[in-house]
C-alpha cells in the first residue's frame, strides 16, 4: 500500500464510505474515456472503485431504453423520461450498499443527463426533476465542457437518437441551469492526458473527504 493510501486511512471513522462521482457533458465530450481511466487510477492507488454508467442497458428497463435510443422503438417523451429515471432507481439500493462498504463509484451520466435531455425536448424542467428526487446526490460532478460543434467532429457522432447539433445546443443550455456547488467544469478540448490529470486531483480530494465521513445526501430535496 502506498504512502498516499496510508495517509488517507489515518482519518478513518465509522461513517467512512466511498465517493459518488458523476461525469456529465454533451455527447462525445469524453465521459466514457475519462471514467474508465479514473477507475484504473483509483484501483492503482489501492482504492476499491467501480465504473457504472447510465443508462444501464443490462436490465430489462435498460433494454427498453437501448431499443428506443437506437430508433428500434418509439416511446412518448414522458414515458422514456420515466424509464431513464426507473433505471437509476433500480440501482439505488446497490449504489448505497457499495458506497457504504467503501467502494467509490465513478458514474458515466446520471440524473443531470436525464433532466437536460428531456427538458431539451420541451418537457418542463421541474417535471423532469421530480422522479429523480431522493436518488443519491453525487459528491462531485465533473462536467466535461465542449461545444456541440467540436463534439460533432469526434468519432462516432450521429449514430443514435439525440446526436444532432441543434438538439445538443439545447441540452447544453439545460445543463447550465442544473449546475450547482458539487460541479467542477473542465475544458474537454484539452488533450486527454491533461484532462485526466486534472480529474485525478479532483477525485482524490473527494475520495479522501468521503473516507473521512462526509455524509451521503439525496438529490434535489428542497
Ligand atoms: N440519456 C437521456 O436522455 N436520459 C438519461 O437519463 C440518460 C441518458 C442517463 C446515450 O448515452 C444517450 O442517452 C445520450 C443521453 C441519453 N444521448 N445521446 N445521444 P450514452 O452514455 O450511451 O452515449 P455514448 O454512446 O456513450 O456517447 P457519449 O457518452 O456521448 O460519449 P462520451 O462517453 O462523452 O465520449 P467518449 O466515448 O469517451 O469519446 C468520444 C470520442 O472522442 C472517442 O473517439 C474518443 O477517443 C474521443 N475523445 C475523447 N476525449 C478526447 C479528447 N480530450 N480529445 C480528442 N478526442 C477525444
Ligand atoms: Mg459514453
What does the pLDDT look like over 35-78, one tens digit per residue?
A: 999 999 999 999 999 999 999 999 999 999 999 999 999 999 99
Report domain extents, the chain: 19-211
Predicted pLDDT at 4: 43
Please give the helix or strand (H or E) that residue 91 lies within, else none: helix 77-100
State the average pLDDT for the chain: 93
Alpha-carbon distance of 207 to 210, in angstroms, equals: 5
Query: Residue 211: pLDDT band by 50, 70, 90 thresholds?
Result: very high
Ligand nearest to the CA of 123: 1
Superfamily of domain 19-211: P-loop containing nucleotide triphosphate hydrolases (3.40.50.300)
Predicted pLDDT at 180: 95
The whole-model pTM stands at 0.94
DSSP H stretches of helix in 2-157: 3-9, 31-44, 60-69, 77-100, 111-120, 125-129, 148-152
Ligand nearest to the CA of 112: 1
Mean per-residue pLDDT for 64-93? 98
Mean per-residue pLDDT for 84-98? 98
Predicted pLDDT at 28: 95
Only one residue has cell 420515466, namely 82
Give the position, in ligand 1's atom list, of the atom nearest the Cα of 162.
19
Q: Is 154 in the pocket of ligand 1 (CB under 6 A)?
A: yes
Q: Is 54 in the pocket of ligand 1 (CB under 6 A)?
A: yes
Q: Is 29 in the pocket of ligand 1 (CB under 6 A)?
A: yes
User: Would you say residue 3 has pLDDT above 50?
Assistant: no
Predicted pLDDT at 29: 97
Amino acid at each position: 500500500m502506498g504512502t498516499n493510501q496510508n495517509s488517507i486511512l489515518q482519518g478513518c471513522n465509522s461513517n467512512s464510505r466511498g465517493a459518488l462521482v458523476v461525469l456529465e457533458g454533451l455527447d462525445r465530450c469524453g465521459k466514457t474515456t475519462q471514467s474508465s481511466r479514473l477507475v484504473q487510477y483509483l484501483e492503482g492507488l489501492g482504492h476499491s472503485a467501480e465504473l457504472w454508467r447510465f443508462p444501464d442497458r443490462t436490465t430489462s428497463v435498460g433494454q427498453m431504453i437501448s431499443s428506443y435510443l437506437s430508433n428500434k422503438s418509439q416511446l412518448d417523451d414522458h414515458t422514456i423520461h420515466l424509464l431513464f429515471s426507473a433505471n437509476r432507481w433500480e440501482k439505488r439500493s446497490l449504489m448505497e450498499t457499495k458506497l457504504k462498504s467503501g467502494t467509490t463509484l465513478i458514474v458515466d451520466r446520471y440524473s443531470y443527463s436525464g433532466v437536460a435531455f428531456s427538458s431539451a425536448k420541451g418537457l418542463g424542467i421541474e417535471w423532469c426533476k421530480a422522479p429523480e428526487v431522493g436518488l443519491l446526490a453525487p459528491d462531485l460532478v465533473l462536467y466535461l465542457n465542449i461545444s456541440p460543434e467540436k463534439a460533432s467532429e469526434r468519432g462516432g457522432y450521429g449514430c443514435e437518437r439525440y446526436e444532432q447539433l441543434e438538439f445538443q445546443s439545447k441540452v447544453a443550455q439545460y445543463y447550465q441551469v442544473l449546475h450547482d456547488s458539487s460541479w467542477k467544469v473542465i475544458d474537454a478540448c484539452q488533450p486527454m492526458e491533461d484532462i485526466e490529470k486534472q480529474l485525478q486531483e479532483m477525485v482524490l480530494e473527494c475520495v479522501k473527504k468521503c473516507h473521512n465521513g462526509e455524509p451521503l445526501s439525496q438529490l434535489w430535496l428542497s
